[in-house]
Amino acid sequence: DAKTTQPTSMDCAEGRAANLPCNHSTISGNEYVYWYRQIHSQGPQYIIHGLKNNETNEMASLIITEDRKSSTLILPHATLRDTAVYYCIVRRPYNQGGKLIFGQGTELSVKP
Amino acid sequence: DGGITQSPKYLFRKEGQNVTLSCEQNLNHDAMYWYRQDPGQGLRLIYYSQIVNDFQKGDIAEGYSVSREKKESFPLTVTSAQKNPTAFYLCASSARRAGEGGNNEQFFGPGTRLTVL
């Protein structure tokens, strides 16, 4: 399985962009990068996913390096409600069931 | 409202008793999943099901059992064989079967916090 490495914790000022890095140096060519977040004692929430190209939706942007060995999740204008644990996940390929493997995640604290 | 429901939110059981956690979804999703989360840790996959009447072991299936008799329901039984059952249990579902390409966005329920006394 492709593993992911994320910083344990990060701080961000309210209103500023939050840039959350993730390393996935062993990712396979057909594996997707997914981001979820989990607010304390709730179920995780899907944010965004990508394969090769950069992606953007109403919640965030995902920047994937050309070699696909790392990615960055960008929350353009962080709010206090964005305080959560953010999980970077590499989805297993087709013949392994495509399951999501959650790591430890990054605990993002957005401060006023 | 469409979504995933888990009940109860909090559950207490005595050691040695089996307990069944409920998970229901009305999203018409094919695949359903059970995860376990311990304090300060990520989620670990217990069991998953891609279709009715079929399910597969995840990474930590020992001491657990599941059934998938209906598309909308995927109950998890924590048996007395599970050595450390106290944890936060999360159920999820996704529209596509786990092995297909494309978005495999999983929708999670609110979770059940099980405490074994």
| pLDDT score at B97 | 60
Using pLDDT thresholds of 50, 70 and 90, give the confidence band for residue A99.
Answer: confident
Shortest CB distance from A103 goes to which of B42, B88, B110?
Answer: B42
Provide the token pair at B53.
């009447």
Q: Which of A4-13, A93-102, B81-90 has the lowest mean pLDDT?
A: A93-102
Residue B99, pLDDT > 60, answer no
- A45 interaction partners in chain B (CB closer than 8 Å): 108
- The contact set of A with B (CB < 8 A) is 30, 32, 34, 36, 41-46, 49, 87, 91, 94-105
Between chains, do B106 and A87 touch, taking CB under 8 Å as contact? no
- How many Cβ pairs closer than 8 A exist between chain A and B? 62
Provide the token pair at A27.
């990712």
Please write the tens of the pLDDT for every residue from A57-93.
Answer: 999 999 999 999 999 999 999 999 999 999 999 887 5
Average pLDDT of the residues of chain A: 90
Q: Which whole-number Å values give the CA distances from B13 to A82, B16, B20, B61, B115, in the listed order?
A: 34, 9, 11, 20, 6
Residue B98, pLDDT > 60, answer no
- B35 interaction partners in chain A (CB closer than 8 Å): 102
- DSSP string of B63-82, one letter each residue: TEEE--SBTTB--EEE-TT-
Neighbours of B115 (CB within 10 A): 11
The gap between the terminal CA atoms of chain B, to the nearest Å, is: 35
Contact A43, B34 (CB under 8 A): no
Contact B11, B112 (CB under 8 A): yes
Please write the tens of the pLDDT for every residue from B19-78.
Answer: 999 999 999 998 899 999 998 888 999 999 988 999 999 999 999 999 999 999 999 999
Shortest CB distance from A43 goes to which of B58, B90, B99?
Answer: B90
Residue B1, pLDDT > 60, answer no
